[in-house]
Amino acid sequence: MANLQELAQLFKELDDQLVSCMRCGMCQAVCPVFAQTGREADVTRGKLALLDGLAREMLTDAAGVNEKLNRCLMCGTCQSNCPSGVKIMDIFLKARAIMTGYFGLSKTKQAIFHGMLANPRLFNVLTGMGATFQGLFTKKVDDMLGSSCARFNAPLVGDRHFNTLAATPLHKIVPELDTPAGASGIRVAFFTGCVIDKIFPHVGEAALKVLEKKGVGVFLPSNQGCCGIPALSSGDGATFDKLVALNLQRFTTAEFDYLLTTCATCTSTIKELWPRMFKGDPALSADIKVLADKTMDISQFLVDILEVKEAAATSGRNVTYHDPCHLKNSLGITSQPRTMIKAAGCTFKEMREAGSCCGCGGSFNVAHYDLSKKIGTRKAENIIDSGTDTLATSCPACMLHITDMLSRKKAGMEVKHIIELYADSMKNQG
């Protein structure tokens, strides 16, 4: 382990970014973690002060700072509301990389990132086996939500109500696709993403059906990898770089106009973080930039490019919408998913605090489940209070966590991706 001065030196490199925080404290108004704990170390101002403290060698407990740094959902709400425009997410990702370099990656994360994520084929085989045997260890709790819980005491699962692995992942249902631009004259590439592939393949299928009906050609290459965000937010830049390069190689073998995903997190990672955080082969930078510029959320594509319009409410569904942080805060996309819900013939009703984080935050959910649950409970209460029968959103990770929260409350509501609602409405039209 390097010494503290060396660590301080690394954090000093963030000084130009750290110094732009004027300690006004306005982030206290929007941080979902701080709303639960009221502790300054949990809010952005406190975390930036801690990094600054390490850089200035005022602090000796680097492990303590690291622990506080990880108590963050990386939802980006603070950044989109920061009066001085501090590049908070950049700072946090870099700081996590520095910390991981200093303390090393945990054994579990090493196994997951290096062993599985970086090897899509192995990842697929292992999760495929999991899907076959999971019924032995889990029991269903809510048929409407499709949630289950553990039959036995399982350390990682705890008392979660979770969506089980799909019996057949998307890459088995649709191994690859390469169709020409149809009536629309547009061809897109489809980036599946891990959670859609392995837990919600029907969301991917719905998207592919909609694109087909709209006369849009699709390029879906086989052996896609993870977008890299779990590795990057754990400070494992090497695995992130490896995944970016692997995916780039899969997606640069064909021509297309846009790259679409049905996952808010994948979209924002490819669009925002691939160009900024990739530290691998510099020769790839130009291609990464081209791909990032083409990347879009599916609702943005349908509304802004294909000009899908709102329709009369015919489905009988009452729907409210949760803004995923990675669409709202990272990409500023809020109106298009709402338009899609109305285009699907649903009656839309806004909930309170639609734009506040659901509390999932990827590995935050694993490390700080109690806090994650508290934040999610507030989300679930707002969803239930909306008086609707369906919660729609645009991110499979949010779907997972919200399903957990609603299942615990026995809400009797459905959780859907907006593209499922739209695909259903097209099916009803024949």
Provide the H-helix boundaries in 19-82: 32-37, 44-55, 62-69, 77-81
Neighbours of 171 (CB within 10 A): 20
**Distance between CA atoms of residues 74 and 88, nearest Å:** 9
**Distance between CA atoms of residues 180 and 29, nearest Å:** 49
- Of the pair 84, 108, the CB lying nearest other proteins is at 84
User: CB 82 → other proteins: shortest distance, Å?
Assistant: 8
The number of residues making up the chain comes to 430
User: CB 149 → other proteins: shortest distance, Å?
Assistant: 28
**Distance between CA atoms of residues 384 and 125, nearest Å:** 38
Residues 392, 416 contacting (CB under 8 angstroms): yes
From 264, 258, 328, select the one nearest 295 (Cα to Cα). Answer: 258
Coil vs helix vs strand at 273: helix
128: region left, alpha or beta (phi > 0 left; psi from -120 to 50 alpha) = alpha
Q: 133 Cβ partners below 8 Å, 6+ apart? A: none
Provide the H-helix boundaries in 302-417: 325-331, 335-343, 363-367, 369-385, 396-408
Report the interface residues with other proteins, using CB under 8 A: 16, 19-20, 22-26, 28-29, 38-41, 45-46, 49-50, 53, 58-61, 64-65, 67-68, 83-85
Neighbours of 19 (CB within 10 A): 12
Rounded alpha-carbon distances, angstroms, from residue 374 to 36, 140, 368, 417:
7, 23, 10, 23
Coil vs helix vs strand at 230: helix
